[in-house]
Amino acid sequence: MNKSLKQIGITGGKGGTGKSTISILLANKLVDQGKKVVLCDCDVECPNEYLLLDEKLNNEIDQVFVEFPELIKEKCTKCGLCVKTCQENAIFQPKGGYPVFINDLCSACGACKIVCPNNAIKNREEKIGKIYRNNINSNFVLVSGLSKPGFEETSVVVRKLKKIALNIAKKESADVILFDTAAGTHCSVISALMGVNKAYAVTEPTPLGAYDLDIILELCKKLKIDTEVIINQSNIGNKDVIKPIVDKYSLKIRTEIPYSKKLVERYSKGKLKNFKELNEKITL
Amino acid sequence: MKKSPYKIVIASGKGGVGKSMLTSGLAYLFGKDEKITAVDCDVDTPNLHIWLNEIEDWESSTPIQTSKKPVIDYEKCNGCGKCVQNCNFNALKMKEGKPQLNSFLCEGCGACKVTCPQNAIKLKSISNGKIRKKKTKYGFNLISGSLFPGETGSGKIVTELKKEADKEKVEYQIIDSPPGTGCPVIASLRDADLCILITEPTLSGFSDIKRIFELVKYFDLDYKVVCNKWDINKKIFQKIKNWKKDNFIGKISYNKKIFELISKLEPIMKTDLKVKDEIVKIYDKIKKEIK
């Protein structure tokens, strides 16, 4: 691994606080400073970065597969061990019948296959995600993932995506890789944040932002990630509610980004490529 | 025929487009006419109580265990590494000849346990969240789940939460879904009678409502479409409106004041903002649809 590669996570807990926007503004600024940047959009359920950069997801560079269980009826003795083992309740066995695998609930962990005493379960490979690459400019690569609707364990896609993005960063001798996470704190967010050197938690100056910031900062603390807070749209609402949360974790507010009509407009149309208006505010 | 309780789920794909705001408004309106329960399924970052201007004096807060983690007996373990090979979530790594668990990545599936030839691994239940309940000032109950930060199993917390909600004898459940399309979202809406899909007129908002729509289609659910902050980009708004024309039931205007109101913890349904009337219109259309 490239020793000088800096890995930064952009997160926030609450949705719609500006994680993707800040990720792009930060990438733009770093590129402006002569750095080579890889931006990795870890919101594989609803990826947006490509839209904000006026790009299309048409350059598929890899795929993500998992192995779902499939029954070999001839070998199955209906013993029910797989049903008992499955922690997701994804195997249903009607009385006296063969077990039925419910794909929507299955996490593709493979425990049923391992436990089956008759080798009556085989793997059926299924594509559950795609990975895309967009070259924004010669110093800025965007890597995005897209999960298949209906598949629950989207963190599997995030992990593969990160691996590929890190490889690209290495090949391109990038200085920084940015991981923009989904909203929330669940497994896909944890997977996105795992291994970063630094995280920025983006929040908004409302009680909602404060409540969710508390939760995400608790997560970052548990993951032992050096974190700082960014208040977006800092001049609307009431930012007094944010400070006590930041103090609770003895952290710093890195920067405050005021509401900008121009930014909102550019955001809605997907025109954030080369947006530099707020560059002096992005002090990372 | 309307079944009881009739479950209305507000979902969006994209975060921050107004799910909880609309849920709070609809709960307020439904609650005036009918027996309802409001359910906050955004267990990662539950905010519905804030929109309802309710403080966190929960009448009950019950810890739940929907997550399991392996415990390795290092006396029995001979370091064969089979558990590491069989973990599909990268949660086990060999360190100094023995497997070591990264519990943040562990899904608690138990593949390691069943593969261990030494019987050295047991699964232990973990308290990973809580279910909270209170009677709101509006008269209806609010049930809200919360996932402890760093724990896994948010989808299962949602499932437990919904079981708890199903115990209440009401006409309607007004359910706030988390953003995204992953496991907690699937658990929130798989048995919905009606999904209200809400978005904003941005390219991201339009793209993400299409993502949640794929999920809704996958589970063959009824749905309606609402556009929040419709006036921030009228061109994209028109596209969203025309996208599922027959299912489009309303728009909500952008107003910076909402930021101030929520900061002062004032419920929007008790103001005279245009937003309020717009939500009432949406409510009327939903009621007409159900009857």
Distances in whole angstroms, Cα of residue B266 to Cα of each of A98, A141, B24, B258: 56, 44, 12, 9
Interface contact flag, B183 A154, Cβ < 8 Å: yes
Question: Given CB atoms, is A202 within the 8 Å cutoff of chain B?
Answer: no
Q: Are B155 and B228 part of one and the same domain?
A: yes
Q: Say if B222 falls within a structural domain.
A: yes
Identify the CA nearest to B156 among candidates B194, B129, B189, B124. B129
In this structure, whether the domain defined by A6-59+130-281 belongs to CATH 3.40.50.300 is answered with: yes
**A96: which 2 tokens?**
């006296």
Q: Are B229 and B86 part of one and the same domain?
A: no
Cα of B189 to nearest chain A Cα, Å: 11
Q: Say if B19 falls within a structural domain.
A: yes
pLDDT at res. A279 = 87
What are the boundaries of each domain within chain A?
A: 6-59+130-281, 73-119
Domain containing B271 — which CATH number?
A: 3.40.50.300
State yes or no: pLDDT of A104 exceeds 90: no
Q: Are B56 and B94 part of one and the same domain?
A: no
The pLDDT of B120-146, averaged and rounded, is 97
The domain tally of chain B equals: 2
Q: Say if B12 falls within a structural domain.
A: yes
Q: Are B16 and B94 part of one and the same domain?
A: no
Question: Given CB atoms, is B17 within the 8 Å cutoff of chain A?
Answer: yes
Rounded Cα distance between B174 and B170, Å, is 11
Q: Say if B201 falls within a structural domain.
A: yes
Question: Given CB atoms, is B107 within the 8 Å cutoff of chain A?
Answer: yes
**Which residues does chain B have within 8 Å of residue A13's beta carbon, measured at their own beta carbons?**
44-45
Interface contact flag, A194 B104, Cβ < 8 Å: yes
**Sequential DSSP letters for B202-250:** SHHHHHHHHHHHHHHHHTT--EEEEETTGGG-HHHHHHHHHHTGGGEEE
The pLDDT of B254-258, averaged and rounded, is 90
Q: Are B210 and B273 part of one and the same domain?
A: yes
Interface contact flag, B149 A109, Cβ < 8 Å: no
Interface contact flag, B203 A87, Cβ < 8 Å: no
Interface contact flag, B186 A219, Cβ < 8 Å: no
Binned at pLDDT 50, 70 and 90, residue A151 comes out as confident
Rounded Cα distance between B93 and A175, Å, is 28
The pLDDT of B30-49, averaged and rounded, is 97
Q: Are B88 and B52 part of one and the same domain?
A: no
Q: Say if B1 falls within a structural domain.
A: no
- Enumerate residues 56 to 115 of chain A having a beta carbon within 8 A of any beta carbon in chain B: 66, 85, 87-88, 104, 107-111, 114-115
Identify the CA nearest to B103 among candidates B44, B149, B39. B149
Residue A159: which H helix or E strand, with range?
helix A155-171
Q: Are B91 and B133 part of one and the same domain?
A: no
- Domain termination residue (choose one: B126, B144, B161): B126
Domain extent, residue B87, equals 67-126
pLDDT tens per residue across span A239-250: 999 999 999 999
Q: Are B209 and B85 part of one and the same domain?
A: no
Distances in whole angstroms, Cα of residue B21 to Cα of each of A89, B10, B17, B209: 33, 10, 9, 17
Q: Are B201 and B121 part of one and the same domain?
A: no
Interface contact flag, B15 A15, Cβ < 8 Å: yes
pLDDT at res. A144 = 98
Q: Angle at the Cα of B152 (from B180 to B76), degrees rounded to 5?
A: 150
- Domain termination residue (choose one: B126, B143, B164): B126
In this structure, whether the domain defined by A73-119 belongs to CATH 3.30.70.20 is answered with: yes
- Domain termination residue (choose one: B79, B99, B126): B126
Binned at pLDDT 50, 70 and 90, residue A233 comes out as very high
Cβ neighbours, 10 Å, residue A80 = 11
Q: Angle at the Cα of A66 (from B217 to B123), degrees rounded to 5?
A: 105
Cα of B288 to nearest chain A Cα, Å: 30
Binned at pLDDT 50, 70 and 90, residue A150 comes out as confident
Q: Are B109 and B222 part of one and the same domain?
A: no
Q: Are B173 and B211 part of one and the same domain?
A: yes
Please check whether residue A82 is in contact with residue A121, taking contact to mean a CB–CB distance below 8 angstroms.
yes
The answer to pTM > 0.90 is yes
pLDDT at res. B1 = 57
Q: Are B137 and B192 part of one and the same domain?
A: yes
Q: Say if B242 falls within a structural domain.
A: yes
- ipTM for the assembly: 0.93
CA torsion, ordered A15, B165, B264, B282, to nearest 10 deg: 80
Nearest CA in chain A to B17: A16
Domain containing B93 — which CATH number?
A: 3.30.70.20
